[in-house]
Amino acid sequence: MSSNTHAPAATPTTRLCTHTLTSLHYRDADLVEDLMGQKTFTEVMLMQILGRTPRAVDLRMTDVVLIVLMEHGLTPSAITTRLIYMSAPENLQGAVAAGLLAVGSSFVGTMENCARLLDRIVDAADPDHEAREIARHYKGLKSPVPGFGHHLHKPVDPRAYKLLDMGRAEPELPGTRIRALETLARAVDASAGRPITINATGAVAALLGEIGVPTGVMRGFAVISRAAGLVAHIVEEQQSPSGRFIWDTVEQAIPYVGNAVRASP
């Protein structure tokens, strides 16, 4: 009577993990026999996410991307994690989870928006034309092209520069996404009439694309890496608490301007 009457969904399956009375398997590998003591965290993570044994070049690109995404100081993520940790210190996972909710469309997770543009350029019959169309579109919106520009790092984001250099130095990579980003950069510069920084998320989008990470999964690498960064913020918060200071500072900096207490001296 309390039933869902639409056609039942087909039975889904999983390939990620299984366990028996005496063993645990990640995909086709035996955790104890094949992975523990033989593979790194990055290696097993990539195997689980990509569904294949990662190559050395995949590990190099993933490690550098994860390192770059780990930290940027007292960002909205880090401030959030510190405030939530102060409020519920028994619940470390809640503090990290709250901070991760900031890995969104406006910061950190923006590589997805750039990767979608690179996908379009790679798939286009005329990549230069497609890139010019993209640049024109964002100019019309008076909005920066995803992957370009940085409020701080000008004229060159040193992280982006190094990431792309590392990618270009890998002969096993196809190079299509890096070239698409270069094509887009030419169009963006031409449209702006001056050089516009390729930022770190733009370079990350290109590199993750080069090793075959689907665009819709890229934000996940930011989430994993930032989780590690936020745990370090919790350690610092345990050693030298900042939560109460942040609360006081913000409360005093933003005045109340209603009519409630007009008459107060």
- Which one of 42-50, 131-139, 176-184, 185-193 is the stretch in contact with a second copy (CB under 8 A)? 42-50
How many angstroms separate the CA atoms of 73 and 181, rounded?
27
Strand partners, 212: none
Q: By C-beta, is 173 or 187 nearer to a second copy?
A: 173
Question: Could you say whether residue 148 binds a second copy (CB under 8 A)?
Answer: no
- Report the residue number, 117 or 221, with the smaller CB distance to a second copy: 221
Residue ranges in 55-114 that form contacts with a second copy under rule CB under 8 A: 60, 62-64, 66-68, 70-77, 79-80, 83-84, 86-98, 100-109
Select from 117-125, 137-145, 153-161, 190-198 the region that touches a second copy (CB under 8 A).
153-161
Identify residue 57 by its one-letter amino acid code. V
The CA–CA distances, whole Å, from 33 to 21, 39, 41, 50, 135 equal 15, 11, 16, 21, 52
Q: Which of 140, 171, 193, 261 binds a second copy (CB under 8 A)?
A: 261
Q: Report 9-28 residues binding a second copy (CB under 8 A).
A: 9-28
* CB-nearer residue toward a second copy: 125 or 263: 263
* 248 touches a second copy by CB under 8 A: yes
The CA-atom distances, in angstroms, between 47 and each of 1, 29, 120, 164, 252 are: 44, 10, 27, 24, 49
**Interacting residues with a second copy between 198 and 237 (CB under 8 A):** 214, 216-217, 219-225, 227-229, 231-236
171 binds a second copy (CB under 8 A): no
Residue 80's closest CA among 69, 90, 95, 91? 95
The order of strands in the sheet holding 24-26 is: 17-19, 24-26, 29-30
- One-letter amino acid identity for 104? G
Indicate the residue among 62 and 183 with the shorter CB distance to a second copy: 62
What sign results for the dihedral spanned by CA atoms 117, 220, 63, 172? Answer: negative
Nearer to a second copy, 19 or 194 (CB): 19
Residues in the interface with a second copy (CB under 8 A) total 138
Q: From 248, 222, 175, select the one nearest 67 (Cα to Cα).
A: 222
By CB under 8 A, residue 193 contacts a second copy? no
Contact call for residue 53 and a second copy (CB under 8 A): no
The CA distance from 144 to 147, in Å, is 8
Helix (H, G, I), strand (E, B) or coil at 105: coil
Q: Judged by CB under 8 A, which of 140, 152, 193, 194 binds a second copy?
A: 152
Alpha carbon distance 131, 77 (integer Å): 32
Nearer to a second copy, 53 or 91 (CB): 91
Amino acid in the structure at residue 165: D
| In the block, residue with structure tokens 């009577």 | 1
- Residue 195 as a binder of a second copy (CB under 8 A): the answer is no
Decide if residue 253 touches a second copy (CB under 8 A). Answer: yes
